[in-house]
Amino acid sequence: MSEAAILNEVPAQDKAPPAAQPVRDRLLAGCSLVARPVGELAAALPGATAVFRRHKLDFCCGGAATLAEAAAGRGLDPAAIAAELAALDPALPDATPSTAEGLIDLILARYHAVHRRDLPELVKLARRVEAVHRGKPGTPEGLAAVLERMQAELESHMAKEEAILFPLLRAGPDSPMASMAAAPIARMRFEHDEHGAELRQIAVLTGELTLPEGACGTFRALYANLARFQDDLTTHIHLENNVLFPLFAIGDMPDGSCRAMTAGH
């Protein structure tokens, strides 16, 4: 099967893309923050991603969930998080590019290149830690294998974006070429969900990056580098799922519409 055919092979349940549309236009129009998808809030409110990270709310692969749903999933009060979001300084400049061209340039330079630089070293560090500390409590056994698999999957994923999807998107949302992007976008969203599942697997294997007592320098370096990789991949997926792809959304919800709303918020 050709690379283009693989890219267009979209799992049935993913053929309808999640609700997505230019977020800035709809922000706060007609319903409260808790009824907004977290991915949309992360894209539209400068500073929101830091709030979501602090509360460990998934705003990249789980970005279609409303704030009410995401907070409930972690046993948190959505109104308290909404209050934190409302208190963010609206005058803070948003450094995220607004055009497809600008977003793609940022993604390639800041995320694709950095994953390619960092993942081989992460695999080496994980292998060394597993070999030296094998059998001891707190050793993340199986981590190197997960990272090796992610390295291969991310390389294939990024190569498809670079060779097929991004050239289509660079033409802009109004180009006739944009209509060809729907299936590849759905396929990339599906693969992002797989990457998100692997990030959760890493969190479990490492006890959310909890170092054992007396951890050596290599162990500390591994977890520090892993924290950076998790952060980078989360932001990378967020920029694609919640900022870039919505520029090309097909079948958007009407303006001001809200997803399933939790009564009382």
Buried b (16+ CB within 10 A) or exposed e, 216-242: eeebebbbebbeebbeebbbbbbbbbb
Least separation in angstroms between CB 162 and Fe ion: 8
Total site size for Fe ion, rule CB under 5 A? 3
Question: By C-beta, is 62 or 78 nearer to Fe ion?
Answer: 62
Q: What sign has the CA pseudo-torsion 191, 195, 196, 201? A: positive
Question: By C-beta, is 85 or 199 nearer to Fe ion?
Answer: 199
> In this structure, are residues 17 and 245 in contact, taking their beta carbons and an 8 Å threshold?
yes
Cα atoms in the 13 Å half-sphere on the side-chain side of 90: 5
Cα atoms in the 13 Å half-sphere on the side-chain side of 78: 21
Least separation in angstroms between CB 157 and Fe ion: 6
Question: By C-beta, is 133 or 157 nearer to Fe ion?
Answer: 157
Question: By C-beta, is 148 or 193 nearer to Fe ion?
Answer: 193
Instruction: Please give the single-letter amino acid code of residue 41.
Output: L
Question: By C-beta, is 190 or 261 nearer to Fe ion?
Answer: 190
Least separation in angstroms between CB 111 and Fe ion: 6
Least separation in angstroms between CB 194 and Fe ion: 11
Q: What sign has the CA pseudo-torsion 53, 203, 112, 228? A: positive
40 touching Fe ion, by CB under 5 A: no
Give the contact letters, 145-174, x = binds to Fe ion (CB under 5 A), - = no: ----------------x-------------
240 touching Fe ion, by CB under 5 A: yes
Give the contact letters, 179-218, x = binds to Fe ion (CB under 5 A), - = no: ---------x------------------------------
The pairs formed by 219-224 with CB atoms below 8 angstroms and a separation of 24 or more are 219/129, 219/133, 221/125, 222/122, 222/125, 222/126, 222/129
Give the residues lining the site for Fe ion (CB under 5 A): 161, 188, 240
